[in-house]
Amino acid sequence: PNTGLVLLHSQSSKVTTNSFTMFELKLPISALSMKREEEEVKRCLLMLMSKEASEEARDLMTAISQSIIENHLYTEIYKTGNQSIIYQMLNTIFNEKIKKLEN
């Protein structure tokens, strides 16, 4: 809530490539927050996953979702960061997750 972000995620057999994409909206839109309150949204975070995705791919997507919801610093970066900063943050998240998977 009160982030200016909307997270859309979907899983489908029609998805051929798992992806995480961020869109900067030209004009803000109104959307319901997790608290069911209207909120102005300026960025859309879109996660698409194949139903046939590997467990490792699912784990990485889960790590992204958790970073959006559970880490206030990361939420702020998703909200205001540029492409380079967000790329670096995702790289950190992926490296941490891969290290955990290797252990």
Q: Is the model's pLDDT at 53 over the cut of 80?
A: yes
Integer Cα distance of 46 and 58 in angstroms: 15
Looking at residue 72, its pLDDT comes to 92
Integer Cα distance of 51 and 46 in angstroms: 16
Domain ranges for the chain, please list them: 5-102
Q: Is the model's pLDDT at 99 over the cut of 90?
A: no
Looking at residue 49, its pLDDT comes to 97
Looking at residue 4, its pLDDT comes to 92
Q: How far apart are the first and last CA of the chain?
A: 35
Q: How many CB atoms lie within 10 A of CB 53?
A: 17
Q: Is the model's pLDDT at 36 over the cut of 80?
A: yes
Q: Is the distance from CB of 13 to CB of 32 less than 8 angstroms?
A: no
Mean per-residue pLDDT, 49-71: 92
What CATH number was assigned to the domain covering residues 5-102? 3.40.930.10
Mean per-residue pLDDT, 82-103: 89
Ramachandran region, residue 58 (left: φ > 0; alpha: ψ -120 to 50; beta: rest): alpha
